[in-house]
Amino acid sequence: MNWSKWIFAVAALALGIGSPSSAIANSDALRHERVAVTTSDGLRLAAYISRPASADGRLPAIFYTQAVSCYSIAPNPDRISMEERVAIASNYALIRVERSGTGDSEGAGCDTLDYDTEVAHYREAFDQLIGHAWIDSDRVVIMGSSLGSTTAPLVAQGKSVAGVIIQGAGALTYYERMLHFDRLQLERQADFQPERIGEEMRRRMRFHQYYLHEKMEPRQIAAEYPDLADVWESLVGTDTAPHYGRPFSWHWQAAEQNWLAAWATINAPVMVVYGEYEQFESRHGHRLIVDTVNRLRPDTATWLEIPGAGHGLRVYPDAVSAYSWQSGESQPEQFVGPVSRWLTGLEPLKSAKE
């Protein structure tokens, strides 16, 4: 199975759920302005600031951190994205940044962009763009999608943010996350062989130790450990070189992150969204964020679990159907409604002058 096709499809679902007719009907609901960000490593990145067409003055804003797959986040008149739906429903502006080498951004392609540089670019973009004339800088919320939910708390660290909302990734280590990813694959794929799952997981644990922690490339692992030579090609996302279309360094650096520690430092309201039939990420990883934040700062984290929803927020009849991407229905209101209500209920930051 071409897993990269499915990973890209998930990203597309998160970006644009709905029929073409509904997208065209809403294409005039937002105004867009193309702006630019200059990074400390000398790149000029394209960015887009959008706002509801009927709005005036400075607005609270969503700063969006996107999924791992390399695709453009430029506004598309033929499709309304999920983050655009949320902006319209909550009367928020929306800030989106094209990654290096994507769309009109300068630099090497996203397929060579490592994790740490991606986070650094987002942090610099945040500082430069919240001063835009459409943005109320005291009311900026960071929204992360899929593995962009891991970059979201790192972008927020040390920044004055009004809130953070994520969907599609948790706060476990990347090693734990990958093992869960593999476990779901073995449990829910069409070629279901429960008697082999235990032994296969032990092989994958060894492989990921060498791959993620010892930073060995798959060909090196195969050469030194022949019994693991066939693991790489059996993993999700390895048909798009190197891995999900991102360099090995992206994954090695992700494995070094302490996401839970980052969440512990964010002194702002948090919302975590989880789909019941999530195909990749664990419920525990999502729930860990809410439970940790509420333990440290009671009643500041909100949990939303959408019944039947998968990673791309389509709703499925069961977990196996979700994993094969069959019989999914678009129900964006299950995400947009609760999220927009949470956003409109946030308080602005206290002015430093007070």
pLDDT digit string, tens, across residues 246-275 = 999 999 999 999 999 999 999 999 999 999
Q: What is the pLDDT of residue 11?
A: 54
Q: What is the pLDDT of residue 14?
A: 47
Are the C-beta atoms of 183 and 302 separated by less than 8 Å? no
Omega before residue 242 within 30° of 0, cis: yes
Enter the pTM of the model.
0.93
Q: What is the pLDDT of residue 22?
A: 41
Range list for CATH 3.40.50.1820 in the chain: 3-172+257-344
Q: How far apart are CA 111 and CA 260, in angstroms?
A: 27
Collect the ranges in the chain with pLDDT lower than 50.
1-3, 5, 9, 13-14, 17-25, 351-354
Please state which architecture CATH assigns to domain 3-172+257-344. Answer: 3-Layer(aba) Sandwich (3.40)
Are the C-beta atoms of 30 and 52 separated by less than 8 Å? yes
Are the C-beta atoms of 97 and 38 separated by less than 8 Å? no
- Measured over the CA atoms of residue 85, residue 86, residue 88 and residue 94, the dihedral's sign is negative
